[in-house]
Amino acid sequence: MNKVFGKIGKTQPYFGFLVFGAILSFAPVLMNNTQWFLFAWLTIFAGFIVYAIAGLGMNILMGYGGLASLGTAGFMGLGAYLTMVLTVDAGFSFFPVLFLTILATTILGIVVGLVSLRVEGFFLAIATLVIAEMLRQVFQQMPLLGGHAGRSMPAFPTISLFGILEWTLNRNQTYIMLVIFLVIAMFITQLLFKSATGRALSAMRGSESAAAAMGISIFRGRLLAFALASGFAGAAGSLFMFFMPFTNPNHWNLVLSLFIFAVVVIGGVRSVAGTVLGAFIVFAVPQLFIARLPVIGDISGMDFVFTGVLIIIVVLFYPAGLIWMPAGIKNSITKLIKRKKGGETT
Amino acid sequence: MSNLLLKVENLSIAFGGLKAVDDLSFEMNHGEVYGIIGPNGAGKTTAFNCITQFYKPDAGKIIFDSKEDGMINLVGHKPHQVIGRGLVRTFQNVELIASLSVIDNLLVGAHIAFKSTLPEQVFRLPRARREEKQLRARAMEVLEMLGLTHIAHMPATMQPYGHQKKLELGRTLMMSPKLIILDEPAAGLNEVETVGLIEIVQRVTKELNCGILLIEHDMNFVSKLCNRICAISFGKRLAIGTPDEIKAHPDVQEAYLGKSDKESGGGEANG
């Protein structure tokens, strides 16, 4: 019985998250001491980490809230711009900036959610797209934010302890800070999924009427998922700004939102590890590998083709996401072996 | 009448020109098992949806002896507020959550018992841990009563249909309700499973002292369980009485079997 149906809810992936974080943290060491981890790759990895955090928020919204948003880029952009303004113009240090940015994007998420969550499905996607485009217009028009050309800030965060002790991180340390926040985001997402609220969100997505009959307010559940997704996107935008230290409005467009959508679809809906895998595939693989291929690598827009083809393949063969590919392959192999052993069985 | 649990008064709802429930009234007492029967399309499920506030009735009152506030009118509540009043329901097509295990499905039924906030739950602070532990123990008690402890950690929707039906009933028990509404609990069950279900329902009413209101087609099932039955047809009440009275009632027979040729004057054929 157990072997047929398997057991769910028993696995504890938290240790794996820590190991994963530790492995990611080795990138700067490799870069400094070996030839094959290039200097530019660290930026690619930082990008992948940032988008993975936004993807985790998207997974809460999609996988648990059952909602689709095309506004992720807008909230990420808001996070990035807020980070710049709070750092440069208000003079806050790293942790207060990050905290205030997450707070502000979450609150905006709640406000937007209060208005737009009356609609669902396709309409919500459009509503969130409109919000993101409005934000982008604000980025373009406000002189403080640098307009179309964008604006930069001093590279890498400064950490301050009560204004007494202050030190600025270097590139490698900032990268490791990003890894730490990715692992924290993974922990929070996983712990949320396994909590009573996570169950309530699952119920809502599984059967709205059953959820309502059990006393779960559908609207509150959706609002929560939307607020969390906004907060995650804000955090991702803020961390992006601390590493890259430049932003312009065109970076935060619909294409980015769609890519983050693709992260969840390709990696694995309702899976933390799957989201991170998806972010790596969508944001790191094209630049790390495909751009280095002869001929194909020279065609511009190859990453779009790659992601597009991948989505088709995933939807066809692994609709739950690529994270289930090993299990799927293992399954087919055992089936194959059984068929050979047992002769003709249907 | 201090023993009154639920009183439905002149309940009506229409979809366009169709009066799905038309001036329906009945009342049931604490601890009673009450059945609603009627041919397909008689408006039974619609009546249930009105009582549980999934539909907003056009007219009528639903007076319920709630857990905390005594007699209240349920009309105007939101669907998710009804359970807090002590009234839980199941669905005709089993509505278990596919992505959750059996025990997690039961815990969804205890959702309103979780008082801890989201940060408390995410960071596993003492109150959230305590609640989780207590309610998990409660869920195991329910599973034990249903005889399903061995499947606690398996995916809920991969279980046989009979188990799923029991689980849905189990989910309603998590909050110790005063009234459970069952929409065709025996539909799709074989004879052995039906007998098992009858035993469980009888135990539930006895041990938890809660009333049960159910819709069922299986006359045998209804006769064995119910103290009283309300028969409806085309949204209207035909008769109320004990199972035997209902079986013998001419209007009920007519609604189920059609008029006999003699009575209807041999005029039209009833299919």
How far apart, in Å, are the Cα atoms of B49 and each of A190, B170, B175, B215, B244? 36, 20, 20, 12, 27
Nearest CA in chain B to A5: B154
pLDDT tens-digit profile of A138-173? 999 998 898 888 898 888 888 887 777 888 888 999
Q: Each residue of A167-193: b (16+ CB within 10 Å) or e?
A: eebebbebbbbbbebbbebbbbbbbbb
Contact state of B128 with A196 under an 8 Å Cβ cutoff? yes
What number of other Cβ atoms are within 10 A of residue B150's Cβ?
Answer: 11
pLDDT tens-digit profile of A87-124? 999 989 999 999 999 999 999 999 999 988 888 778 99
Task: Decide: B47 and B24 in contact? Cβ < 8 Å.
Answer: yes
pLDDT computed for residue B97 by the predictor:
92
Between CA A107 and CA A115, with CA A109 as vertex, the angle to 5 degrees is 110
Nearest CA in chain A to B94: A210
Q: How far apart are CA B249 and CA A229, in angstroms?
A: 60
Contact state of A210 with B91 under an 8 Å Cβ cutoff? yes
Contact state of B95 with A207 under an 8 Å Cβ cutoff? yes
Contact state of B111 with A215 under an 8 Å Cβ cutoff? yes
Q: Is the pLDDT at B190 greater than 70, yes or no?
A: yes
Average pLDDT on B16-26 reads 91
Task: Decide: A15 and A187 in contact? Cβ < 8 Å.
Answer: no
pLDDT tens-digit profile of B125-153? 999 999 999 999 999 999 999 999 999 99
Q: Which of A192, A203, A215 sits opposite B97 (nearest CB)?
A: A203
Percent of chain A with pLDDT over 70: 95
pLDDT computed for residue A38 by the predictor:
83
Nearest CA in chain B to A195: B121
Q: How far apart are CA B251 and CA B233, in angstroms?
A: 10
More confident residue, B26 or A302: B26
A324: confidence class by pLDDT, cuts 50, 70, 90? confident
pLDDT tens-digit profile of A244-292? 989 999 999 999 999 999 999 999 998 999 999 999 999 998 888 887 7
Average pLDDT on B227-256 reads 89
How far apart, in Å, are the Cα atoms of A80 and each of A93, A168, B12? 15, 19, 56
Going by C-alpha positions, the residue among B129, B101, B121, B119 that lies closest to residue A11 is: B101
The DSSP symbol for B60 reads E
Q: What is the mean pLDDT of chain A?
A: 88
Contact state of A210 with B81 under an 8 Å Cβ cutoff? no
Nearest CA in chain B to A320: B99
Q: How far apart are CA B228 and CA B126, in angstroms?
A: 47
Q: Is the pLDDT at A7 greater than 50, yes or no?
A: no
Best of B87, B90, B122 to mutate (most A CBs within 10 Å, chain A): B122
pTM over 0.90: no
Nearest CA in chain A to B119: A192
Q: Is the pLDDT at A202 greater than 60, yes or no?
A: yes
Percent of chain B with pLDDT over 70: 94
| Set of chain A residues whose Cβ sits within 8 Å of the Cβ of B101 | 7-9
pLDDT computed for residue B2 by the predictor:
66
Q: Which of B52, B88, B155 sits opposite A5 (nearest CB)?
A: B155
Task: Decide: B34 and B52 in contact? Cβ < 8 Å.
Answer: no
Best of B74, B96, B111, B112 to mutate (most A CBs within 10 Å, chain A): B111
Task: Decide: B177 and B66 in contact? Cβ < 8 Å.
Answer: no
Q: Which of B54, B158, B175 sits opposite A5 (nearest CB)?
A: B158
Contact state of B95 with A6 under an 8 Å Cβ cutoff? no
Task: Decide: A230 and A57 in contact? Cβ < 8 Å.
Answer: yes
Task: Decide: A59 and A275 in contact? Cβ < 8 Å.
Answer: yes
Going by C-alpha positions, the residue among A319, A331, A238 that lies closest to residue A63 is: A319
Helix axes A94-116, A72-84, angle to 10 degrees: 150
Specify the long-range contacts of residues B235-242, CB closer than 8 Å, at least 24 apart: B235/B12, B235/B19, B235/B20, B235/B21, B235/B22, B235/B24, B235/B42, B235/B43, B235/B46, B236/B22, B236/B23, B236/B24, B237/B23, B237/B24, B237/B25, B237/B26, B238/B38, B240/B26
pLDDT computed for residue A4 by the predictor:
34
The DSSP symbol for B92 reads S
pLDDT computed for residue B221 by the predictor:
87
Nearest CA in chain B to A189: B122
Contact state of B97 with A206 under an 8 Å Cβ cutoff? yes
Task: Decide: A76 and A236 in contact? Cβ < 8 Å.
Answer: yes
Contact state of B131 with A188 under an 8 Å Cβ cutoff? no
pLDDT computed for residue B260 by the predictor:
61
What is the three-class DSSP state of A35?
A: coil
**Closest CA of chain B from A8, distance in Å:** 6
pLDDT computed for residue A343 by the predictor:
54
pLDDT computed for residue B267 by the predictor:
41
pLDDT computed for residue B107 by the predictor:
95
| Set of chain A residues whose Cβ sits within 8 Å of the Cβ of B78 | 212, 217
Contact state of B154 with A6 under an 8 Å Cβ cutoff? yes
